[in-house]
């Protein structure tokens, strides 16, 4: 409730992309009223995805005030995120804290379409856990209709039954290296066919490297810690916290996020794509903490996580407020 109110009542200047969506509220709503060509190429090349355009148009038909767009979107996004946390986390409070401080909440106040796409990706993750592959594909496609980058989550089909081991890590980091080496050739070809992706070919320079570097360090730290928590855990203790291959799946999701962040150090525009996999740590980190038997160690690590979260959030908002544009915060009231 608190996060929904903070997001819904924010001024249009809070969030680096918020004002853009507000200004496009009417134009996008009226876009389909004209002679819109529904051919596949036009849909793919469109700056705004068809699902979001219809969503925008529906809300505009209810009210021409863009405050409705911000309010309804906030309610949908945070309902989905906290539904996911409540369903999979064994420590809802810590998962919520991590969401608020590790960067996801700040991003959600800016990249509206991507977090609307994430709503469907969270459901896709849920149904994939139950081996419902058709429903999984449907939810990923619905996410794609709000932000084309959501299609990358289809990679989860390939790692569904994989294990977090040296063989798979070597393969994933090897693919990362190949992606870096042939990035220009790969994405130049993609950009030539999908006009809205042309900015993904731009090389990162200077301070643009800092954000993906910090995310890579954060994700790598979480991966190492969760591996150490699991290393000496008995099968019985594991089964009390995680289901079947869940730990492996969440760990590999974070490895994918880490790989994306590594590539994004050279090509910054890719950094946002890691959000489709970052949500794994909202569950993995709190649940892995429960694998620790030593109560004193568990207390120390939990306290350290809280200190890290506060520090990570404050340092970024003080030194790099332009990344999300959420400070200074003002409500519209």
As a whole-number percent, the residues of the chain with pLDDT over 70 amount to 88
Q: Return the closest-CA partner of residue 123 out of 142, 104, 147.
A: 142
Q: Does 6 share its domain with 111?
A: yes
Averaged confidence pLDDT in the chain: 87
Q: Does 175 share its domain with 45?
A: no
Indicate the pTM of the whole model: 0.89
Q: Does 166 share its domain with 287?
A: yes
Specify if 2 maps to a domain.
yes
Q: Does 125 share its domain with 192?
A: no
Q: Does 210 share its domain with 147?
A: no
| Per-residue pLDDT tens over the stretch 213-230 | 889 999 999 999 999 998
Show the tokens assigned to 321.
């407020």
Number of domains in the chain: 2
| Per-residue pLDDT tens over the stretch 156-183 | 999 988 999 999 999 999 999 988 887 7
Q: Does 173 share its domain with 236?
A: yes
Residues 121-142 as b/e (b if ≥16 CB within 10 A, e otherwise) read: bbbbbbbbbeeeeeebeebbeb
Q: Does 21 share its domain with 142?
A: yes
Q: Are 16 and 327 in contact (CB under 8 A)?
A: no
| Per-residue pLDDT tens over the stretch 294-324 | 889 889 999 999 999 999 999 998 888 888 8
| Residue span of the structural domain in which 141 resides | 1-152
Q: Does 131 share its domain with 256?
A: no
Specify if 112 maps to a domain.
yes
Residues 238-259 as b/e (b if ≥16 CB within 10 A, e otherwise) read: eeebbeebbbbbbbbbbbbbbb
Q: Is 220 exposed, middle or buried (0-12, 13-18, 19+ CB in 10 A)?
A: middle
């Amino acid at each position: 409730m608190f996060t929904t109110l903070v997001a819904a009542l924010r001024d249009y200047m809070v969030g680096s992309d918020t004002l853009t969506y507000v200004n496009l509220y009417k134009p996008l709503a009226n876009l389909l009223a004209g002679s819109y060509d529904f051919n596949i190429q036009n849909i793919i090349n469109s700056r705004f995805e068809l699902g979001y355009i219809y969503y925008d148009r529906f809300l505009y038909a209810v009210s021409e005030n863009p405050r409705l767009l911000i309010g309804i979107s906030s309610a949908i996004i945070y309902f989905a995120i906290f539904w996911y946390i409540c369903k999979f986390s064994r420590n809802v409070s810590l998962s919520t804290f991590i969401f608020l401080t590790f960067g996801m909440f700040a991003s959600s106040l800016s990249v509206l379409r991507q977090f609307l796409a994430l709503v469907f990706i969270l459901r896709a993750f849920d149904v994939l856990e139950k081996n419902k592959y058709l429903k999984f594909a449907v939810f990923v496609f619905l996410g794609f209709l709000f932000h084309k980058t959501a299609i990358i989550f289809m990679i989860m089909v390939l790692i569904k039954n994989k294990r977090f081991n040296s063989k798979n890590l070597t393969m994933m980091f090897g693919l990362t290296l190949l992606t870096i080496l042939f990035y220009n050739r790969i994405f130049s070809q993609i950009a030539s066919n999908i006009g809205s992706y042309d900015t993904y070919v731009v090389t990162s320079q200077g301070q643009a490297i800092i954000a993906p570097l910090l995310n890579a360090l954060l994700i790598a730290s979480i991966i190492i810690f969760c591996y150490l928590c699991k290393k000496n855990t008995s099968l019985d203790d594991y089964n009390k916290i995680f289901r079947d291959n869940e730990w492996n799946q969440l760990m590999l999701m974070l490895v994918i996020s880490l790989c994306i962040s590594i590539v994004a150090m050279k090509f910054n525009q890719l950094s946002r794509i890691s959000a489709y996999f970052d949500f794994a740590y909202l569950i993995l980190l709190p649940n892995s903490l429960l694998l620790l038997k030593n109560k004193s160690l568990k207390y120390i690590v939990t306290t350290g996580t809280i200190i890290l979260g506060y520090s990570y959030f404050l340092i970024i908002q003080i030194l790099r407020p332009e990344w999300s544009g959420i400070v200074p915060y003002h409500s519209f009231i």
